Amino acid sequence: MGKLWLIEGLPGSGKTTFAERLATTPGYTFYSEIDASHPVDVHDVYWVEAGPETEGEVIDQDGTGRFIRYRPNERRSGVDVYELPFDKHVDLMVGRWRRFVERVKEADHVYVFECALLQNPFTIGMVAQDVPNEQIEAYIETVADLLAPLDPTVVYLETADVPTVFREVYAERPTDWRHGFVEYYTTRAYAQANGLSGMEGTIQLLEERQRRELSLLERLPLRTIRLVNDERGAFEAFDVLRSREEADHADA
């Protein structure tokens, strides 16, 4: 296999659990989507255009500005990278992906990311800003091309019964997560434009997001493994597939 595993799927599909188990493989390292040391993702990071120095830790820079992470007591400047206009967000994230590939393409190490290839672009582009789907797909296709030197594999944990699984996950999560998730999904641009609200609106949006992600995934030039994970048995099925592939490779 290659140097990068990308674990994707809807919220509650089991991505984190799957990624953590995969990362027990010697030489593999998992970075969660909120990991402050993530080589690409920028959770709670601000984009600050060139100008006077500001508080916070500069984690990266790109041409006209800096990526900055602030401590709770520091005065914040700039704009959260996830809240930038989609075109600007894409420009910055493509730069992050390009620099990551250049740093690690010769390294003897394997990275495991969750949400980075599909979920984040569709959440920002579709859910939050409702930009044309073609723009979101073009962004992801650009990233897929950049990743070619790492020979990546996408594992998509598919949810066959979105209403049932999401309701189960929703009931298990903390109150703050439940309220924040539904509020985010139903108060941003896509839900507002399509008249979606409450739990039912959130589920409809999730179903459409998964449909778009899977449709694009079929066309990306990436090794892909799709596993239905409603019953939480995806890793066992994956282990069987991986063992067979390793055996076939040894016999070749």
Q: What is the pLDDT of residue 251?
A: 65
Q: What is the pLDDT of residue 252?
A: 60
pLDDT value for 52? 75
- Cα separation values, 33 from 43, 115, 158, Å: 7, 7, 19
Task: Give the Cα separation of 160 and 165 in Å (integer).
Answer: 9
Token couple for 13: 């599909």
Q: Alpha-carbon distance 89 to 111, whole Å?
A: 23
Interatomic CA distance for residues 7 and 153, integer angstroms: 9
CATH of 4-40+89-251, one of 3.40.50.300, 2.60.40.10, 3.40.50.720, 3.40.718.10: 3.40.50.300
Matching residue, tokens 């039912």: 200
Q: What confidence score (pLDDT) does residue 63 get?
A: 86
What averages of pLDDT result for each successive group of 10 residues across the chain (252 residues)? Answer: 94 96 96 95 94 88 93 94 98 98 95 97 98 98 98 98 96 93 97 97 98 98 96 94 76 62
pTM listed for this prediction: 0.95
Classify residue 252 by burial, with Cβ atoms within 10 Å: 0-12, 13-18, 19+: exposed
